[in-house]
Chain A
Amino acid sequence: MIEPTKILYTKDLTVGYKRKKADDFILLDNLNLSIESGELICLLGQNGFGKSTLLRTLTGVQKPLKGDFFINGKSINSYERSQLAKVLSIVLTDNLNIGEVSVHSVVSMGRYPHNNWLGMLSGKDHKVINNVLEITGLTPYKEKMFSELSDGFKQKVMIARALAQDTSIIFLDEPTAFLDIPTRIEILSMLRSLIKEFNKSIIFSSHDLDLALQTADIIWLITKDQKIEVGSPEDLVLNGHFEKAFNKKEIKFHPQRGIFKMNRTANTKIQVKGNKLDVIWTERALERIGISVEGNEKSDGSIQIENKDGKLVWHLNHNSQLVEFHSISELIKHLKK
């Protein structure tokens, strides 16, 4: 039953925690998942639904409650720690505060599972390290001290270290947590390009939904009934699994845009007309203050956006009053009253 293209697959895997005085606390039940080479997989789910526990189990840190999983056709139970280090590597969110260690040194630690008892670097090790530094764009920074880097750079260095470890799978736990938006995108597109470059399998957990939707080939979506739905991001949106997994009272998944929106009941409806981009951003502002923008003629009011010699003017027709604004913030201020 072993399929050769599968790097990792699970067999009736159940993960959770053993408890002393009670039954096992099951987080995810009876999973049959598989990872193929060259796939970028995102593990999505609400906090507390077992993302970290599944990652801990799949990386061999924690024992499964039931079932088994196989890496390169071999059961996890038959791996020594030192062997496992050659087939899977991890990147964590640990805030590392290490002293006098250069970027090059951190990356070269990735070679430790492959070199001798003292950790001496061979010619091949140097070649791998230089290659990894080059591809991750870290070559100009290799002499920099790790402790002096920004969080995003530290994350990159840890990813480079995992690449130097040269494993078939890389697991990343929340690689974009604590980073600003541009850096998040940078890190995720880096993962994307690594898949192409090295033909590795990468699996990362995230609760950054819209970015995950844009990046991942496959999403493992943790549902509310302790299962995992697998599929391309688009499939999971269209078959409604996304909405089911995440919808709460206050927020609602917006399938057209692939984002979450605060779920407010709107009393007022206003129609917005004008240049497409101007309309989109004006609508966003209106939605924020709880005004619906469903455009029809029965609306409570309307806004016409006009471009006057390169400057935008908003004409609001509301409560049979005509008012003119020169910025969205003015408009919002008025409507809030």
Chain B
Amino acid sequence: MKEKSIYEHLKEKGLSRRDFIKLCGTIAGMMGLEFAPPVKALGKMVHPDPTEMVAKALSSQPKLPIVWLEFQDCAGCSEAMSRSSSPLLSKLVLNDLAIEYHETLMASAGYQAEKAKEECLKDYYGRYVLVVEGSPTLAEDGIYCTVAGKSNLDLLREAADGAAAIIATGNCASFGGIPKAKPNPTRACGVGEIIKDKPVVNIPGCPAIPEVTTGTILHFLIMGKLPETDHLKRPLVFYGHTVHDHCLRRPFYEAGKFADNFDGDRARKGYCLYHLGCKGPITYNACASLKWERGLSYPVQSGHPCLGCSEPNFWDGGGFYQGQSAALIPPAAKTSALAAGAGLAAGATLAGINSAKKNRAKKALASAAENSPTDSTTAAPPEKKEE
């Protein structure tokens, strides 16, 4: 029997055609599809309407099975997803795209859950999308994180084997995140460092913006491939600009108006948070444009500097509340004193050698003068010291 398309599933649940087209428009807009890839028709290049393209994909594609694995994480990305601002989209992903296995969200547990996963991996081999949340651990073959008696490395490799694409959501899965922070006892790392033979896309953030995760999954569903990425494998649509680029406090930055503490008048007036350690200028993420909670706000808007959570090693990247230009490791008084001492010693030694040399030369001159008393007036040692 032919598998039902997503549209047919939605129709069964009572979604009208009008609502379906609206949904397609929303998806296209959120994915940043300004126009669809051109199609050649009747000898001309035609740019189809993106909404139409989304609608076609959703009405022709069967459900997209998703396997969601969790390793060293706080489930924050899942939490963000389940409380996503656009209920339409997260509902679509959570209910209608068929997440086949998700430890936190699924009703079943224990053997039942593991059995469901096994079946899914077998049935949908080569077709499912693997979403990874949390960082895998390399230390001692991954025994620091086990599920159902299997180490996380085995679990990851097993699931990645039949995956059509892998999406690493959150900073932990993308770059190692907080588990990777010094001293990193479990040797946490990003998924991309372990799985090399499959397409991996990173959705870093702490948590990842749910619209970005859903958007990337939908992109795969609609386009049949993962979105274009930057050098850190982040989708360019969402990670193409810095938080600073679209920040609503940007005009204050341009005007040179900065808040100097969290409590003061200047902070209340909404001035730029650069002095308070905002990492917006070096952080690539869609916070400032997509925002959170249905576009309600994002950290900088609510008065907290950007922590740079979509960048690798953000947890060890220097203090969160120190201005961007401040020295990360200012030399301690002791180090400076040592450096000064070294300079002093080197200078004094060389000066000593120099003056010994001069004294020798003087003595030589004096003895030469004694030997030839006639020249004694001219051979007097020079008064002025010179190098």
Co-complex (A, B): no
